[in-house]
Amino acid sequence: MNSALQIGVVGCGYWGPNLVRNFDSLPSVNVAAVCDLDLGRLSHVLQRYSGLKGYQNFTDLLQHEALDAVVIATPVASHFKLAQAALYANKHVLLEKPMATSSEECETLIQLARKRGLVLMVGHTYLFSNAIQRVIEIVKSGELGELRYINSQRLSLGLFQKDVNVAWDLAPHDLSIIMAAVDDVPIVVNCQGNANVTPGVEDVVNLSLKFRNQTFATIQNSWLEPRKVRQLTFVGTQRTIIYDDLEPRDKVRIYDVRVDRPPHYDSFGDFQYAYHYGDTYIPRIEQSEPLRNLCENFVSCIQTGSQPLTCGQQGLDVIRVLEAASESLQNSGGAVPFSRRTPSRKTDSDFSVKPSLAGKEPVGAL
């Protein structure tokens, strides 16, 4: 008998094959089947792995394969229906970012997974990067002093998405990292942007977030930049940390540099800012593929019943900020107050479950 965890991957486009490769490399996992509406993409993956079964229809995959878990890497418009069907079929679910198209969909999935005792994890890959984890650890330790601001730039000549704008496509990465570092959700969201190429689909956006502790964050996302930029800066009152994803090894640098206002001065002529130029250092960080770490976390949560690092609630927090950003975009960048029910970040186990979710699986095309 094969005791390995049986996994099916849905979506064999750009990202799905990376998930197949990583799950396939885990000793306790058997990638049993893949699914894609597009026969060409399906064949592309089937040719690379022996023993894999292929399906063009997700319902067939669920009916014919004895799977423990389903991994969903399709465009966001299909996330909710596919994940809901998988949860109703009692499969653990790893759902790519952005989790769904609305917060209502996310809440339904979280409640359904809780009700059925299933793992629901969201693919916020960057939180599984050792370098990003180190950045978050340093920010939280207070080593930077008080945070003055955060800036995240994710720019390149983009893989244009048809169903979502650049904020919904790229900002989930920035938002998941920033909210983990600040350990809170914002209280106000602003977003401005332009649709330059596809009418109605913004390909460049500037998002700004204000947090309860007065930390201010800006996020720039673009599919139009000729150069690729993946940089995240946390400026503190004592030090600054810069993460550069494109650096092959030394992704994190800490600058012991700051500027202070002198406490007092007698005349305007005496006034001088106090600049401090100290050392810059690079922490040693163990290299490993973030996506592999994510896949390992999913498997371990299924095996132990523990909560994923990127649980449904975190996916929901990101979607709620994106909804506020969309509202602000419609409103020429106006401030959208961001309310939530509880004062600090919740996890899936804090979610109350609606009894109605025990019911039958809704029918509809997948």
Ligand X SMILES: NC(=O)c1ccc[n+]([C@@H]2O[C@H](COP(=O)([O-])OP(=O)(O)OC[C@H]3O[C@@H](n4cnc5c(N)ncnc54)[C@H](O)[C@@H]3O)[C@@H](O)[C@H]2O)c1
Which residues are near ligand X by CB under 6 A?
A: 10-16, 35-38, 41, 58, 73-76, 78, 82, 96-97, 123, 125, 366
- The arrangement of strands across the sheet holding 224-236 comes to 274-281, 252-260, 240-244, 224-236, 147-157, 216-222, 204-211, 186-194, 336-337
CB nearer ligand X, residue 36 or residue 184: 36
In angstroms, what is the minimal distance from the CB of 237 to ligand X?
Answer: 32
In angstroms, what is the minimal distance from the CB of 173 to ligand X?
Answer: 7
- Residue recorded with tokens 């990003």: 132
- Beta strands 240-244 and 224-236 are antiparallel
CB nearer ligand X, residue 240 or residue 313: 313
In angstroms, what is the minimal distance from the CB of 177 to ligand X?
Answer: 12
DSSP 22: H
In angstroms, what is the minimal distance from the CB of 297 to ligand X?
Answer: 13
CA neighbor of 303 nearest in space, from 66, 29, 48: 29
CB nearer ligand X, residue 159 or residue 282: 159
CB nearer ligand X, residue 236 or residue 315: 315
CB nearer ligand X, residue 35 or residue 109: 35
In this chain, which residue has its C-beta nearest to ligand X?
13
In angstroms, what is the minimal distance from the CB of 95 to ligand X?
Answer: 8
In angstroms, what is the minimal distance from the CB of 361 to ligand X?
Answer: 16
* Cβ neighbour number for residue 2 with a 10 Å cutoff: 7
Six token digits for residue 347: 């996890």
Six token digits for residue 211: 């947090």
In angstroms, what is the minimal distance from the CB of 276 to ligand X?
Answer: 37
Measured between alpha carbons, how far is 311 from 318 in angstroms, rounded to an integer?
A: 11
In angstroms, what is the minimal distance from the CB of 342 to ligand X?
Answer: 27
In angstroms, what is the minimal distance from the CB of 40 to ligand X?
Answer: 8
CB nearer ligand X, residue 54 or residue 333: 54
CB nearer ligand X, residue 36 or residue 105: 36
What is the identity of the amino acid at 9? V
Measured between alpha carbons, how far is 195 from 200 in angstroms, rounded to an integer?
A: 6
CB nearer ligand X, residue 63 or residue 237: 63
Give the dihedral of Cα atoms 324, 172, 175, 123; nearest 10 deg: 130
Q: Let me know: does 33 contact 61? Beta carbons within 8 Å.
A: yes
Q: Let me know: does 135 contact 203? Beta carbons within 8 Å.
A: no
- 186 prior amide bond cis, ω within 30: no
Asked whether the CA dihedral 347, 349, 354, 358 is positive or negative, the reply is positive
- Residue recorded with tokens 């690729």: 228
CB nearer ligand X, residue 37 or residue 335: 37
Residues forming a β-bridge with 157: 224
In angstroms, what is the minimal distance from the CB of 366 to ligand X?
Answer: 5
Measured between alpha carbons, how far is 277 from 29 in angstroms, rounded to an integer?
A: 51
SS3 62: helix
Measured between alpha carbons, how far is 227 from 206 in angstroms, rounded to an integer?
A: 17
- Beta strands 69-72 and 186-194 are unpaired
CB nearer ligand X, residue 40 or residue 269: 40
